[in-house]
Amino acid sequence: MISIIVPHYCTLREYFEKCMNSLLDDKDADIEVLIIDDGSPAEYIEYIQTYTEDKRVRVIYESHKGVSNARNIGIKEASGDWMMFVDADDYLEKGYYSILASLTVNTNADFIFFNGYGDKDGYQIPNRFYVCENVDYGETLERKCEVMGAGLSLGRTPVYRRCFFTLGSPYAKLIKTSYIRDQNITFDTSVRFAEDTLFSLNLIFNAHHIYYANYYLYHYYMNELSATGKYRKGLSADVDGFFIKTEAFIDERGLRSRLQESYYIRAFLEAQRCIRQEFYHKDNSDDYNQRHEATAKFLNQELYQKALKADYPYMRKKACKVASFLLKKRQYGMYIVMYKTLGIAKKLIHSV
């Protein structure tokens, strides 16, 4: 049996229904769907409960403690031999179960990851990984570090790939339940940003056997109004916390030389996220001088200074070079203009 863990908090009904209908479409699928509701108001509970008519669905209600806590409850409560995580606004391809079930037969894998699409503006854009089938990515530390590096860098290493969800995400992974429990791998509830990356680093590092299956089954809904696009006061402090934990993970396992490139690329990317979603977001009510000084203070930290000066292949891309130049020169407003211009250009390309 496969346990499917669905953390839920105030997801719009149309997206949640699409998610659940995709999971339950195969009436003969040997699955359990664990909906972990993270303290949603009553109007959301009403339509969640309709799915309990299917005996394969179980709902667990929690007070609002965050997605990491919800996922950890799912890990604890899962009854299946294998488990996977699906966000409540994402969905799976029709016929997913027969494919996943076939992957679990006669395998020594601790977990198997597969592929999918980024759903945005009505388009389904195929995700791209650098990995290949029939390779055990858990067999050696070198292989593990390739996969960890790809997850940590959000797909920018070992070769740049356009990833909508990455090897550092909990999505599109079929995990052996005995493995995750024996290794006591959980989500760190003290981390408020990118906790899924830390989870995945642990998942990869502790595994003995990891395989990729080239099936496009997962649909990741890319909503600009989601947590990845909205104003987030205090994001920079949460990002700092993530890097403190990540650096500790790397150094405690002696992986500094192997993961340094991915670490600095991630710092470069998240520094920009903080500018877009906190310091220079349109909903930030601070005046210009306050924004400018707060951004300068944040970027003046040693980690981000090293990241802005790093000279890796990904950093030599034109957009990266321009972004790095503007941020080093403290031209934060110009950086925002550049970012928005590139976003408009990408939308135009997709519309042609």
Contacts of 287 (CB under 8 A, 6+ apart): none
**pLDDT digit string, tens, across residues 243-301:** 999 999 999 999 999 999 999 999 999 999 999 999 999 999 999 999 999 999 999 99
**pLDDT digit string, tens, across residues 9-21:** 999 999 999 999 9
Q: What is the DSSP-derived secondary structure letter of residue 168? A: T
Task: Return the pLDDT at 163.
Answer: 83
Query: First CA to last CA across the chain, in angstroms?
Result: 44
In angstroms, the CA 302 to CA 19 distance is 42
**pLDDT digit string, tens, across residues 73-88:** 999 999 999 999 999 9
Over range 201-210, report the average pLDDT.
98
Task: Return the pLDDT at 228.
Answer: 54
CATH class of segment(s) 2-221: alpha beta
Split at pLDDT 50, 70, 90, the class of 193 is very high
Give the global pTM.
Answer: 0.94
Mapping DSSP to helix (H, G, I), strand (E, B) and coil, where does residue 258 land? helix
Domain boundaries, the chain: 2-221, 235-351
Q: What are phi and psi of 310, to 5 degrees?
A: -65, 150
More confident residue, 44 or 106: 44
**pLDDT digit string, tens, across residues 208-223:** 999 999 999 999 998 7
In angstroms, the CA 157 to CA 90 distance is 26
String of b and e for 130-167 (b: at least 16 CB within 10 Å)?
bbeeeeebbeeeebbbbbbbbbbbbbbbbeebebbbbb
Lowest mean pLDDT among 35-49, 116-130, 144-158, 169-183: 116-130
Over range 200-213, report the average pLDDT.
98
How far is CA 12 from each of CA 5, 8, 47, 170, 257, rounded to the nearest angstrom? 18, 10, 11, 21, 44
Over range 122-151, report the average pLDDT.
94
Split at pLDDT 50, 70, 90, the class of 164 is confident
In angstroms, the CA 298 to CA 305 distance is 10
Helix (H) or strand (E) run with residue 271 in it: helix 256-274
